[in-house]
Amino acid sequence: MTRGARLAEWVALYALSVVVALALASVIVEATGGDWWPVVEALVDGSIMAPGRWGGTLGIAAPLLLVALGTVISSKAGLINIGQEGQLLIGAAVAVYFSFRIGGPGPLNVVVLLLFGALGGAAWASISGLLRYWRGVPEVLSTLLLVFVALQAVGYGLKWQWLLLADEASRGNRNLVSEQLAKDNRIPRPDIFGNEFPITVYVALALALAVAYVLARTVWGFRLRMLGHNPRAAQRAGVSSTVYGASALAIGGAFAGLAGAAMFAGGGFSFGTYRLVPGFSDNIGWTGLLVALLARERALPAVVAAFVFAGLRNGAGFVNSTGVESRITDVVQGLLVLALLVPPAVVFLRDRRRARAAATERV
Amino acid sequence: MLIDFFSAVGDVLSSESTYINGALFAALLAFAATGEWVAERSGTLNISVEGMLLSGAFAGILGYHLSESIVVGLVFGAIGGLLIAAVQAEMSHRLTADQFVVGLTLNILVFGLVGFLDREIEPQALRASTVEIPVLVDIPLFGQALFGEPWPFYLLYGLVPLSWWLVYRTRWGLELRAAGENPQSADVSGIDVNRRRRQSIYYAGFTSGLGGAYFLFARIAAFDDSVIGGQGFIAIAAVIFGGWTLWGTMAGCVLFAGALSFQLSLQGLGYELNTELLQALPYLVTIGAMAIFAKRVRPPAALARPFIRGLK
């Protein structure tokens, strides 16, 4: 098959799957007496078309992308980290704890905040690394279980003033909120064509390029990939699975923690109050993991995937006004992900079948 | 103060309602965990069990809404679980899509879908009647909790031994365990590895769907999307805690449900324990148990590793 034909086939397959997914969603809406078309319009309006909306979408895409980049790194080393939700939340909590205690002038404090966010996420992920390489506990299990521990730990921290809870003057009659981040400690949100988004968007993009480069073009990245492809061969070639694996997990956690800190200091969307609250992570960690897996563990496609997911989340805000329950966007999102999984799998299976048939013919 | 607290603990431990509540949660966990255990033995880490429970709960109430019969509700519940299992199994072990993407997506999808449908349909149901088994129900403390339950509870007394028998005493179970331990060898000896894994996921969907519906009919008989609230993940923790043995898994279910019920009862008496710690307990205990026994208790060797012939 020529290159052009293959590309056309890919495009057709993806288009077909997406159409099927949307058709399914429309059937669900219509069957319950709603109208489908206004929902689509609301989603498009709410994510990019309406004034000021694409900035919001970018603001959500940035933490998703950061989480996804970390996941790409740990997956390349052959590790299955599914605990980003917890690593993100712990990162945010650690960032909050230290930024209010260290203080310092505006821009410096932002750097401190992001740094401690990354450290917190890395530390949380390193628990799994420790358990993996010291006690042989599979990282896929420990990272998953630690998510729920993290949720409770942060909930606990928000009950006590010596941990995360704001003092009475600042929190008023509210419970379980942290101190509010001072205005000059926030990440700047410059206004571009009527859209504003935190400059962490640029940082996330730059990091995506950096991750792609490091994985593809450096010795460290090569060794990491070698470990992922064939741990035994990597060990023979002098790649310590403990050192490289544990650091890949820690870096993955650092990215998630960075995302958490950036969400806290960056504002926008549902995390716009500059306060840490229970449920602050708001599924950004889980969704970021999906972004990475959907981009098949590559850094640059993750940029696109992150934007699409952010668009769906941001667009959901407009759906309620159509009279259809906005929960339908979760359904649309789920169906889309499942649909996007089909084309690569179909092509992969067919190519294998063909190769096998060709191999039998030769015999 | 401290003496008061201890006497409250004593009250809680000697009151039947603690055990009845505990049995309610333990049964929910057991329904889900017994299927999850079978799935994990075949080498697939089925994290859509949360979605299966929720789907089963909603399908159950929908079935009751349509027919006014709890039996139909339970059948619907099982079907609801099986539907999720179908997507999970066919996508991840036929189409070779990543099992975690599929599982996580299904959890989100089900959560959104039942929330959406619940608002649009607003189904109603009734609690299942309790059936008391004579003589046994009079055992002090435990009697009521184990033998005086809403009748769907008793399905467990069949389901759990059935799972054990299927996995340890049938050819199917042997092949399933082979698929979980060493898929390459299993494949060479003519076992269709991915087929066994798909079947085990269907089994998990069946038991979890039933469990979700049971919980609804046994407890509140009203649906809301937080009704399962993470119990599916606790069921996964119970399987791991149990070291991938069925009895260990059931012990995990009883322990975790007991801790929850204990905390709820103490709250009822006005004592506020460290709720966060108690909520995190199942996960902490499981991580601790894994770390301590990791060298002795091994997960199925191919757990969460996809099998594609000729690759890895």
**CB contact (8 A) between residue A325 and residue B299:** no
Chain CA centroid to CA A74, Å: 13
Judge contact between A285 and A88, C-beta under 8 A: yes
Q: Which residue ranges in chain A fall short of pLDDT 50?
A: none
Q: What integer pLDDT is reported at residue A278 of this predicted model? A: 84
User: Which residues of B are less than 8 Å from A137 in CB distance?
Assistant: 287, 290-291, 294
Burial state string for B30-54 with b = 16 or more CB within 10 A and e = fewer than 16: bbbbbbbbbbbbbbbbbbbbbbbbb
Within 10 A of B276 (CB to CB), how many other CB atoms are there? 19
- What is the predicted pLDDT for the residue at A75? 92
Per-residue pLDDT band for B87 (boundaries 50, 70, 90) equals very high
DSSP tag of A182: P
Residue in A140, A289, A327 closest to B116 by CB: A327
Best CA proximity match to B48, nearest among B209, B178, B227, B175: B209
Strand (E) or helix (H) holding A41: helix A36-44
The residue-averaged pLDDT of B212-229 equals 84
- In tens, the pLDDT along B240-260 reads 899 999 999 999 999 999 888
pLDDT per residue over B106-131, tens digit each? 998 999 899 888 887 777 777 777 77
Residue B116 has which token pair? 């959406």
pLDDT at position A170 is 73
Query: Does the distance separating the beta carbons of A338 and B108 come in below 8 Å?
Result: no
How far apart, in whole angstroms, are the C-alpha atoms of residue A334 and residue A338?
6
The pTM of this model reads 0.89
Candidates A71, A143, A149, A333, partner chain B, best to mutate (most B CBs within 10 A): A149
Q: How many helices (H) and strands (E) does chain A have?
A: 14, 2
Cα of B63 to nearest chain A Cα, Å: 17
Q: Chains A and B: how many Cβ contacts under 8 Å?
A: 140
Contact B208, B83 (CB under 8 A): no
Q: What is the pLDDT of residue A266?
A: 85
CB A118 within 8 A of CB A261: yes
Of B45, B113, B237, which has the smallest distance from its Cβ to A331's Cβ? B113
Q: What is the pLDDT of residue B271?
A: 73
For residue B199, pLDDT beyond 60:
yes
CA distances, A236 to each of A73, A227, A239, A241, B21 (Å): 22, 10, 7, 10, 55
d(CA B79, CA A231): 42
Chain-wide mean pLDDT for chain B?
88
In B265-304, the residues whose Cβ lies within 8 Å of chain A are 274, 276-277, 279-280, 282-284, 286-287, 290-292, 294-295, 299, 303-304
Query: What DSSP designation does A165 have?
Result: B
- Regarding predicted confidence, which is higher, B33 or A351? B33
Which residue in chain B is spatially nearest to A334 when comparing CA positions? B109
Q: What are the CA-CA distances from residue A297 to residues A65, A115, A199, A289, A342 (Å)?
A: 12, 25, 25, 10, 16
pLDDT at position B221 is 64
- Predicted pLDDT at B2: 65
Phi, psi of B269, deg, nearest 5: -90, 5
Q: What is the pLDDT of residues A183-235, one digit of tens each?
A: 778 888 887 787 788 889 999 999 999 999 999 999 999 999 999 988 889 98
Are the beta carbons of A318 and A39 closer than 8 angstroms? Answer: no
The per-residue DSSP string of chain B comes to -HHHHHHHHHHHHT-HHHHHHHHHHHHHHHHHHHHHHHHHHTT---TTHHHHHHHHHHHHHHHHHHHS-HHHHHHHHHHHHHHHHHHHHHHHHTS---HHHHHHHHHHHHHHHHHHHHHHH-----PPPB-PPTTGGGSTTHHHHHHSSBGGGGHHHHHHHHHHHHHHHSHHHHHHHHHHH-HHHHHHTT--HHHHHHHHHHHHHHHHHHHHHHHHHHTT----TTSSTTHHHHHHHHHHHTTT-HHHHHHHHHHHHHHHHHHHHHHHTT----HHHHHHHHHHHHHHHHHHHTTTS---TTTT---BTTB-
Categorize the per-residue pLDDT at B33 as very low, low, confident or very high, splitting at 50, 70 and 90: very high
Kindly state the tokens that stand for B307: 């099998």
Other Cβ atoms within 10 Å of B249 Cβ, number:
27
Predicted confidence at residue B193, as pLDDT, reads 95
Look at residue A268 in the predicted model and tell me its pLDDT: 67
pLDDT (tens digit per residue) in A76-99: 999 989 999 999 999 999 999 988
Give contacts of B280 with chain A, Cβ < 8 Å. Answer: 148-149, 152-153
Chain A residue with CA closest to B234: the answer is A145
Show which of residues 217-246 on chain B sit within 8 Å of chain A, judged by CB atoms: 230, 233, 236-237, 240
For residue B232, pLDDT over 60 is answered with yes
Of the spans A192-196, B51-55, B133-137, which averages the highest pLDDT? B51-55
Over 80: is that where the pLDDT of B174 sits? yes
For range B140-164, the mean pLDDT: 87
Asked if the Cβ–Cβ distance from B120 to A289 is below 8 Å, we say: no
What pLDDT is stored for residue B190 in this prediction?
A: 93
C-alpha A73/C-alpha A165 separation (Å) is 34
Q: Sorting pLDDT into bands at 50, 70 and 90, what band is B20? A: confident
Residue A196, H or E segment: strand A195-196
Q: Is a pLDDT exceeding 90 seen at residue B16?
A: no
pLDDT given for residue A316 in this prediction: 83
Name the burial class of residue B270, with classes exposed (0-12), middle (13-18) and buried (19+) by CB atoms within 10 angstroms of its CB. Answer: exposed
Neighbours of A322 (CB within 10 A): 20
Q: CA A147 to CA A256: how far, in whole Å? A: 12
The residue ranges of every structural domain in chain A are 61-189+196-302
Mutate to test the interface with B, among A331, A332, A340, A354 (most CBs of B within 10 A): A331
Q: How high is the pLDDT of residue B274?
A: 78
User: What local confidence, expressed as pLDDT, does residue A196 receive?
Assistant: 80
